[in-house]
Structures are given as C-alpha cells and as structure tokens.
Structure 1
Amino acid sequence: MIRFVKWYISSLNASYSSRVPKGEWEKKPYNPVLGEQYFMTWGDVDGCGETKVICEQVSHHPPVTGFYIENEKAGISLNGHTGQKTRFSGTSLICDQVGHSVVKLHSRDETYMFTSPSLTVNGIWYAAPYVELTGHSYIQSTSGFYATIEYSSRGWISGERNHFKCYIRKNAGNSKEYMHKIEGQWSAKSTITAYGTKASKPFLDVTQLKPAEMHVKSLEEQGEMESRRIWQKVSEAIRANDTQTAGVEKSKIENQKRAEKAERDQNGTQWEPTYFHWVESEPTIAALQRMLSSTKSKFEASSSGNWVYKK
C-alpha cells in the first residue's frame, strides 16, 4: 500500500503540475468528441517493459473517458473511467471528478481501487489560471488496507500550495489509529511517519523523477478517430496564431458530430464505444467499495459501475 500511494502521488504531479511548463499557465483544453480515441506507449524503464495506453471518449453529455493501461512484462493493468461535473465557486471553477479505477497486480493477486480528487481552477479572472486539488480521494486494496488522502490549497494569507495529508489504515483496525501518515506537497516533497513515532522520514520527491519516454504513432499511421487526426487543423491554426481558422475548423468538427447524432436519433440507433462496454455493477469494484464503506471514512460510492475494456 505504501508503494501504491507513492505511485498515486507521483501520478497527481504528472497529471496536474509537471505537464504545464514552468512560467506558463493552464490552457483551455479541447472538448473531446464522442468516440475520440488516443493511443500511446511509455518506453521501457530499467527493464520493466513497455506500458500501453488506450483511451476512448465513451460519453459526450456528460463527458466521460474510458481508459486501459497495461504492462504485460510487469504484470500490471489499470482499467477505469473519469467524468467531470463543473461548477463555479466565487472566482474559481470547481471540477468534481466522477469515476474510479482498478489496478491489478497480477503476479501478487492484489487489486487496488482508487478515486480522484476535485480540481479547483484559480486565477481565471486574472488570465493566469492554475490548478489546485481539493476534497478527498481514496484507495482500497484487496489486501485489507485502505488510504484516505485530503487535499488543501494555499489560503489568502498562509498555507502551502498543493498540500496533501494521507493516512494508511487496516480495514479491520481502529479507525483512529493509522499505520502511516504521509504529508507534504504532491508537486514537490513529502514525508512519512509511522504511527506512535514523531520521527518523519523522506517519502517522495517528485521533482527528482524522470518520466518514461512517450511514443505516439505519426499522423499518417493514426486512425480517423484518433485525437491528433481529429484536431490536426485546429492545432495547426493555433500554432500559427490564427484564431479565426482555428474557430472555423473547430466548428466543422462540432457540426459534423451534431449531424451524426441527429442521424442516429432519426434512425433510432444507439452509439457504442469501440474499446469499452459499461458494466452496471462491476464485481471487483463493488466488493472493494463495500470494504471501504465499512470503515469510518467519508467515502460515499455514487456507482459501482465501470467502463470495462473489451479484450
């Protein structure tokens, strides 16, 4: 569980911090179209093998992405989905992430379910938007351990940016007693402290991590529904600082998708994803949610369903 938390915290930095070049601000992302696909591979690191990634936009209203990640040599796979519910709070945009993921360690016969924190986009009115994490996320393992992670952002006067506090506990243990407390910045350094001790040890310094090399096929080799093919002309216009052309090309994509939906509605046909199918109550997720709900954590399951990868 300690190692899984370490990976999880490093993934937060990779998802919400390191992707933004130093000195720059968040950019408005593309709005994925229904059925949009994305494939990539992370290269081998220290002989662990390649890691393959498959993503597909399985819903447009509300926006939901299904994803599957696998490293056959390491015996690890991840299957999950994520959706977003946005709302304004004062001068900030709040994005609540809906969904969950399951990681299987096949060689150890262990499974871990985890959720994602909410995002706060600050600085919108100053044209300098940046992301901070808020709320809670949870990790539950079939081995009988669970972790609760609380996020806090920097206040007007004091506080540390990108701060988190994590407690690892046993499902069968006393909820007031934790095994380990992990605290620090998910975008920088953190420490770990064993229960009953006051001495903290270094846990993770994400600034020292080097990401694996990312491989994506050339545009000529990509299918028509792959992200870089769909948004090619929009991206080219943005790089050329031609906002008018970017807007025209974006409208073409949106109008085409509206026409496709109208045709499906007229014919009474239902769109189906290529790589994923919905399982209303996925057994593994349902079992892990029951384990987590039996604790005194604040976890509340909205659904035990998952977009499962079609192997």
Structure 2
Amino acid sequence: MVAFVKWYVSSLNASYSSRVPKGEWEKKPYNPVLGEQYFMKWGQVDDCGETNVVCEQVSHHPPITGFCIKNEKAGLTLNGHTGQKTRFSTTSLICDQVGQSIVELASEESYLLTSPSLTVNGIWYAAPYVELTGNSYIQATTGLYATFEFSSKGWISGERNHFKCYIRKNGGNSKEYLYKIEGQWSYKSTITPYGSKKSEPFLDVTQLTPAPMEVKPLDQQGEMESRKIWQHVSEAIQAGDTTKAGVEKSKIENQKRAELAEREENKTTWEPIYFKWQDPEPKVQSLQRMLSSAVKNKYDPVTSGNWVFHPSQ
C-alpha cells in the first residue's frame, strides 16, 4: 500500500502539474467528441516491459472517458472511467471527478482508487491554474485503505498543492493509523509511522524522469483518434490563426450534431468500440463495501459500475 500511495502521488503530479511548464498557465482543453480515441504506450524502462494505454470517450452528455492501462510483463492492469461535473464558486471553477479505477496485480491484489476534485483558480485574471481539493480514497483487497485530504495551501507553509494521507487497517480503530504521509504532491512529501515523532523522506516528484511516450505518426492514426480529429484546429492554433481554428472547430461540432440527429431519426443507439458498461462491477462493488464500512458517510460513490475494457472487439 505504501508503494501504491507513492505511485498515486506521482500520478497526480504528472496529471495536474508537470504538464504545465513553469511560467505558463493552464490552457482551455478541447472538448472530446463522442467516440474519440487515444492510443499510446510507454516504452520499456528497467526491463519492465511496454505499457499500453487505450482511452475512449464513451459519453458526451455527461462527458465520460473510459481508459485502460496494461503492462503484461509486469502483470498490471488499470481499468477505470472518469466523468466531470462542473460548477462555479465565486471566482473559481470546480470540477468534481466522478468515477473510479481498479488496479489489478499479478499477485491477485486489487486496488480501488478515486480522484479528487479540481479547482480552477485565476480565471478572471486570465491566469488560470489548477489545485486539488476535497478527498480521495484507495482501498485494497489486502485489508488496508488510504484516505487523502487535499488543501490549496499548506497548514503551516502556505504553499500550494498540499495533502495529508493516512494508511489504516479495515476494521481497526479509525483514530489509529499505520502511516501518515504529507507534503506537496507537486514537490516533496514525508512519511511518519504511527506513534513516531520522526518523519522520513517519502517522495520528491521533481527527481522522477517520465518514461518515453510513444504515439503513432499522424498518417497511421485512425479517423477517431484525438490528433487526427483535432489536426486542423491544432495547426491553426499553432499558427496563431484563431479565426481558422474557430472555423475548423465548428466543422467538427456540426458534424457530430448531424450524426446525433441521424441516430435520433433512425432510433439507433451509439455504442463504444473498446468499453462496455457493467453495473455493478463485482470488484468495484466489493472494494466499495470495504471502504464504506471504514470511512462511513464520508464516502458516497455515484455508482458501483465501471466501463470495462474489451480488447477482443
């Protein structure tokens, strides 16, 4: 569980911090279209084998993405989905991430993990940046669970991107813990065993080197892959031609509206290619029950289902 928490913290940095170069602000992302796909892989690192990634936009209203990350040599599979519910609060945009993921290991251990909420600040000053807020959870079949509390500023330092994590045993005293992990998910964190006053270094994400990411050349990609769909919009943005970017974006949106109208006229239902909805999903349901019994009313999942990857299709 300690190793899993370390990976989870590093993934937060990779997802919400390291992708924005220093001195730059968040950019408005493309709004994925229904059925949009993304494929990539991380090459071999330290003889761990290749890690393949498949993503598909399985719903447009509400927006939901299904994803699967798999490394056969390492015996690891991550399968999950994420959806977004957005709302405004004073000068910020809050994005609640709905969904969960299941990580399965060759050792037959499984881990359920959820995602924190995102707060986009600085919108009115044209200098937006993301902070994590609220809580997230990890529940393992081994009988251990972890709770995360995210804060926009540290309890003492006033720095951004702080978190506290407690690892506990299911069925144990909720006031006792095995480890407390705290710090900045975008910088350094420490770990402290229960009953100890001495903390030790846990993770410094600035010292990590991302694995090389591999994506097929554009001319080898399918028509529903992200870079292919948004090719002309991206080219216009990079050329500084906002008018053309708007025109190309409208072409995509109008095409998708026409496709929707055709489905409604023919009374047909669109189905994802790589994922199928399963509710309840047995592993999700089982781990949710374990977690709910430990944290009580603090954890209230929207669903016990998951968009399950079907590679044979």
TM-score category by the smaller chain? over 0.9
Q: Secondary structure at the match of 1:294?
A: helix
2:29 equivalent in structure 1: 29
Deviations 1:9-48 (A, max 9, x none): 0000000000001110000000000000000001111000
- Identify the residue that residue 154 of structure 1 maps to in structure 2: 153
Question: After the TM superposition, which residues 35-46 of structure 1 pair with which residues of structure 2 at under 5 Å, given as runs?
Answer: 35-46=35-46
Amino acid at match of 1:279: Q
Equivalent residue letter for 1:131: V
- What residue is the counterpart of 2:75 in the other structure? 75
| Residue 87 of structure 1: aligned partner | 87
Q: How many residues align?
A: 309
What amino acid sits opposite 1:41 in the alignment? K
- The equivalent of 1:198 in structure 2 is 197
Take 2:45 and 2:188, find their aligned partners in 1: how far apart are those partners? 23
Aligned residue runs from structure 1 range 163-242, under 5 A: 163-242=162-241
Could you list the structure 1 runs, at least 4 aligned residues long, displaced by more than 6 angstroms after superposition: none
Q: Secondary structure at the match of 2:25?
A: coil
Counterpart of 1:5?
A: 5
**Distance in structure 2 (CA, Å) of the matches to 1:292 and 1:4:** 16
* Number of the residue aligned with 2:137: 138
Q: 5+ residue gaps in structure 1?
A: none
1:254 alignment partner in structure 2: 253
Cα distance in 1 for residues equivalent to 2:62 and 2:294? 31
Amino acid at match of 2:31: N
Per the TM alignment, residue 296 of structure 1 is displaced from its structure 2 partner at its CA by 3.0
Q: Which residue of 2 aligns with 1:301?
A: 301
C-alpha distance after superposition, 1:98-126 (max 9, x if no partner): 000000012x1100000000000001111
Gaps of 5+ in 2: none
Q: Say which SS state the counterpart of residue 248 (structure 1) adopts.
A: helix
Q: Distance in 2 between matches of 1:7 and 1:299?
A: 22
Amino acid at match of 1:57: Q
Counterpart of 1:127 in structure 2 is 126
The normalised TM-score by structure 1 is 0.98
| Percent identity for Structure 1 against Structure 2 | 76
Q: TM-score, normalised by structure 2?
A: 0.97
> CA–CA distance in 1 between the matches of 2:221 and 2:189?
40
Q: Secondary structure at the match of 2:294?
A: coil
RMSD between aligned residues: 1.0
Paired with 1:47 and 1:6, the residues of 2 have a C-alpha distance of 20
CA distance in 1, matches of 2:95, 2:44: 33
Report how far residue 154 of structure 1 moved. 2.4
The letter for the 2-side match of 1:69 is: I
Amino acid across the alignment from 1:278 = W
Task: Give deviations 1:210-232, integer Å, cap 9, x for gaps.
Answer: 00000000011000000000000
2:196 and 2:41 mapped to 1: Cα distance?
42
Aligned partner of residue 119 in structure 2, secondary structure: strand
For residue 148 of structure 1, give the secondary structure of its aligned residue in structure 2: strand
Q: Which amino acid aligns with 1:112?
A: Y
Measure how far apart 1:158 and its partner are.
Answer: 6.5
Compute the displacement of 1:65 (Å).
0.2
Bigger drift between 143-152 and 297-306 goes to 297-306
Query: In 1, distance between residues paired with 2:74 and 2:292?
Result: 31
Q: Return the letter of the residue paired with 1:223.
A: G
3-state SS, counterpart of residue 295 of structure 1: helix
Secondary structure of the equivalent of 1:44?
coil
Q: Quote the offset at 1:172 in angstroms.
A: 1.9
- Find the residue that maps to 2:273 and give its secondary structure: coil
Could you tell me how far apart the structure 1 residues matched to 2:175 and 2:45 are? 39
Match of 1:48 in 2: 48
Aligned AA (1:169): R
Residue 301 of structure 1, CA deviation: 1.8
Give 1:299 deviation, angstroms. Answer: 1.2
